[in-house]
Amino acid sequence: MNATRYIRRYWQLYALLVLPVLYFAIFKYGPMYGVIIAFKDFNFFQGINGSKWIGFDAFREVFAMRDFYKTLRNTLMLNLLDLIVSFPAPLFIAIMLYELRTAWFRKLSQTILYIPHFISWIIIGGIAYQVFGTQSGMLNNIITSFGFDAVPFLTNKSYWLITYLAIGVWQSAGWGTIIYLAALTGLNRELFEAAEVDGAGRMRRIWSITLPSLKPTIVTLLIINIGHMISIGFDRPYIIGNTTVREYSDVLSTFVYRVGLESGQYTLATVVGLFQAVVGLVFVLGSNYVSKKLADQSIL
Amino acid sequence: MVKKLNKHSMHKKTAGLLALTLAGTALLSACGNNNNNGGDTASATSSASAAPSGKAITLKVEVFDRGNAPDGMSITNNYLTKFVQDNFGTPNNIKVEFVPVPRSEEVNKLNVLMASGSDVPDIVFTYDSSTFFRYAQQGGLTDLSELLDQYGPNLKEFIGEDTLAYGVVEGTQYGVPARRTHLGKYSSFIRTDWLDKLGLGSPTTTDELYNVLKAFKEKDPGNTGGKVIPLGMTIAPAQYEPLIWSFIQPATEEELYTLTSGTRDLPILLPGFKDALQFMNKAYNEGLMSLDFGLDKDKTKLGQDVANGLVGFYSEDDMNPFYKDGSVDTLRANNPTAVLSAVDVYTNSEGKHAKPEYTPIGMYLMIPKASKNAEAAIKYLDWMASGDNLFQMQNGVEGENYTLEDGVPVTIADQSDEFRNRLYNQGDMAIISNGKSLGSADLNVEAYVKGMPEANQDETRKAMTISRSDTIKPIRFDRPIESQAKYGTTLQDKFEEMLVKTTMAKPDQFDSTYEAMLKDYMASGGQAVLEERQQAYAAMTK
């Protein structure tokens, strides 16, 4: 087909594409200009162009910092644990919700599970202190009333990890189910009826029908998650973390905040950001490649 | 990318795409809650009506926003902004506009404002000396020497030469430090009703204090049911600094200058520092401190515990417990027989109640280089320092907000909310003075005392006397310590970590924890600060 006919036929689709493309151009590609700060001794009174070039000096400085390696290790550790604990949680919940037959009860459960996602981390942090505090936390009040010793949920680094993960699951698992439930709505119920006639039990049906139909979604989300392995949100570790467990709770984002923003060293902050972006890209491409080879599923 | 599209894989792709879109939305909405809590930055005062001839200039002045504006007022439009406009702005054909900056993100927001160049206010300020030095050294500030001579005679006189010197960087006057009127910092407080109940005298040394704390723990005179916290502690300076400094051994001037570290001059390398941590460790392991003291960075929990009558002894900013509806008022409401008294207990090897005092400065007031209204900015500060303008901004209207007694303005206790609300942010608007300014230290203290609820006035006076006695003067180098600007926040975090880790360590692991944390501190910038301080001291005394 020739060009005019092609455009006439598909222009609506391109029109639809304009907004997302603009979004990426303005908010994702535009700011990349600022990456050159990483190679300059940035002085914000002189602006990006006026500042001196320093080559890789800032990279050397960052890679020589002890805290950089500690925060890098913590970022990877917290993300890996999150991947193991928090990644499967929405899947389980979605399957359970899908199996529920009473519509009103399913909707109610879904709503209740979503709610934590809409609570600000600041508030969650406040709740966490009230619930998990050693001296007067709700949970420890119960534990000590049975005559056991108080558990330092927030002030011992190992217990803190568990608290951190549990809060993460509570906050995000419900919201994460949306994607799986959306994928499941396209599933033909007749498949289940047929399987039931053939004598398949509930577990069998989940294993042979529900899970395989979710496979593309799971793989997509897994690749996205692995791509984010090196980056970590600021709010959760910063707010749930505290001085006593900084050995584990100090991550790259809090490191950038402290060194870059609080001390006004934007060059160092940009170096860390660039480093995270590059490693993240490698992770995405790598996991995509592996998944293509092993499961014939990929997003690129 | 798309090779062959049979129906099956088409289905797969759509499912994948759908998932992606949804994931994208989730991510977007997660990032989207970055709400700007700066509030309304829009027009402040629109009352530039009867202006003299010529085009009015707009003077933009930073103001801290604590989000506590009373009903019917906003941070950019209230009694004091109108007072400034009517008494300074309109007569000088200047429109004064206030630019709010959230108090808790002061430095970050200021960095953004400064980086924006043209949009920056004409008067900005910060408490953070590192930030001031950095702006000065990077060439972002206006040289004020001539402007001050020409337009700021009253201001110069009010601030005084000694204080102005703090605003000099490498020989140039880049900032005007606000004058601090009360230099006392800390006092300690004890539940005297508990002492009476146990038949104990008020402790006068750290050793006696330890025995009293033990007695509070074992005999629980407050009937807290085992929840007693004999020693109130947090990781805020007001709680740990008086304790730590009382363990520091007498030191020479050189040691004081070089072996302290960070922007707070923490005595990390001075002899005695380890003993202070050892005391904390012992107190913690014997259950004399709250198990969660390491979580309490902003003293919220401590304040609650004091008000609930759980805390036996603690140190704090001298007048902090005595404000209307503060810890002491709440404590008394909860338990009418409770008495919390100011005491000076922590004692060093010389028998002195050593504790740090403030530098004689408040905020650094600065005029960014990008400002075109430097002249008007200095005029504004000079206006504030002249006549009784500062007094009116701090105290309001006579007969409505205060009455004069022996030259001291006494807050009228039962004034209407309308009058009280006038002054809700006077501390943030009267930027040239940190604290009430009446001419002498004793009068200033008296002004604070008279501002407290009547029942708390005697104890406030006592606490503010304690906080001014046996103080250790702050260190002042004649040049900025650059490594401190660079590592300052990291080192403060490391210090707090050292404090909680050594305190919470099992007694037999104290030494190894201390060694490890000190090593970490030195390697994370502490060593660089030490070396630079040694050089700076040598250069200064040469």
The percentage of chain A sitting over the pLDDT mark of 70, rounded to a whole number, equals 99
The number of folded domains in chain B is: 2
Q: What does each C-alpha distance from A251 to A71, A255, A272, A275, B166 come to in angstroms? A: 4, 6, 12, 14, 36
Q: What does each C-alpha distance from A205 to A94, A102, A199, A202 come to in angstroms? A: 15, 19, 10, 5
Higher pLDDT, B44 or A78: A78
What is the CATH classification number for the domain harbouring A187? 1.10.3720.10
pLDDT digits (tens, 9 = 90+) for B381-411: 999 999 899 999 999 999 899 988 888 888 8
Confirm whether A102 is domain-assigned. Answer: yes
Of residues B15, B229, B487, nearest to A217 (C-beta)? B15
pLDDT confidence tier of residue B37, bands split at 50, 70 and 90:
very low
Q: What does each C-alpha distance from B525 to A268, B446, B519 come to in angstroms? A: 15, 43, 10
**pLDDT at position B49 over 80:** no
SS (H, E, C) chain A: CCHHHHHHHHHHHHHHHHHHHHHHHHHHHHHHHHHHHHHEECCCCCHHHHCEECCCHHHHHHHCCHHHHHHHHHHHHHHHHHHHHCCHHHHHHHHHHHHCCCHHHHHHHHHHHHHHHHCCHHHHHHHHHHHHCCCCCHHHHHHHHCCCCCCCCCCCHHHHHHHHHHHHHHHHHHHHHHHHHHHHHCCCHHHHHHHHHCCCCHHHHHHHHHHHHHHHHHHHHHHHHHHCCCCCCCHHHHHHCCHHHHHHHCCHHHHHHHHHHHCCCHHHHHHHHHHHHHHHHHHHHHHHHHHHHHHCCCCC
**What pLDDT was estimated at residue B53?**
58
Q: Which residues of B touch A291 (CB under 8 A)?
A: none
Q: What mean pLDDT, rounded, does chain B reach?
A: 86
Highest mean pLDDT among A207-221, B330-344, B444-458: B330-344
**pLDDT at position B44 over 70:** no
**pLDDT at position A193 over 60:** yes
pLDDT confidence tier of residue B51, bands split at 50, 70 and 90:
very low
Average pLDDT, integer, range B112-141: 87
Residues B401 and B389 in one domain: yes
pLDDT digits (tens, 9 = 90+) for B141-191: 999 999 999 999 999 999 999 899 999 988 899 999 999 999 999 999 999
CB contact under 8 Å between B19 and A220, yes or no, is: yes
Q: Which residues of A touch B114 (CB under 8 A)?
A: 44-45
Confirm whether B468 is domain-assigned. Answer: no
The domain containing residue A130 runs over which residues? 66-253
**pLDDT at position B123 over 90:** yes
The domain containing residue B267 runs over which residues? 186-356+473-541
**What pLDDT was estimated at residue B435?**
87
**pLDDT at position A161 over 50:** yes
Q: Which residues of A touch B295 (CB under 8 A)?
A: 129, 133, 154-155, 242-244
Q: How far apart are CA B355 and CA B416, in angstroms?
A: 39
Contact B182, B445 (CB under 8 A): yes
Confirm whether B10 is domain-assigned. Answer: no
pLDDT confidence tier of residue B3, bands split at 50, 70 and 90:
very low
pLDDT digits (tens, 9 = 90+) for A11-62: 999 999 999 999 999 998 998 888 999 999 888 788 888 888 998 999 999 9
**What pLDDT was estimated at residue B191?**
96
Confirm whether A200 is domain-assigned. Answer: yes
Confirm whether B446 is domain-assigned. Answer: no
Residues B64 and B152 in one domain: yes
Q: How far apart are CA A18 and CA A40, in angstroms?
A: 34
Query: Which has the minimum average pLDDT: A166-180, B30-44, B205-219, B392-406?
Result: B30-44
Q: Which residues of B touch A238 (CB under 8 A)?
A: none
pLDDT digits (tens, 9 = 90+) for B132-141: 988 998 889 9
Confirm whether B509 is domain-assigned. Answer: yes
Residues B309 and B369 in one domain: no
pLDDT digits (tens, 9 = 90+) for B206-244: 999 999 999 999 999 998 888 899 999 999 999 999 999
- Testing the interface with B: which of A16, A44, A129, A140 to mutate, by most B Cβ within 10 A? A44
CB contact under 8 Å between B138 and A178, yes or no, is: no
Confirm whether A18 is domain-assigned. Answer: no
What is the CATH classification number for the domain harbouring B310? 3.40.190.10
Confirm whether A213 is domain-assigned. Answer: yes
Confirm whether A290 is domain-assigned. Answer: no
Higher pLDDT, B499 or B108: B499
Higher pLDDT, A173 or B25: A173
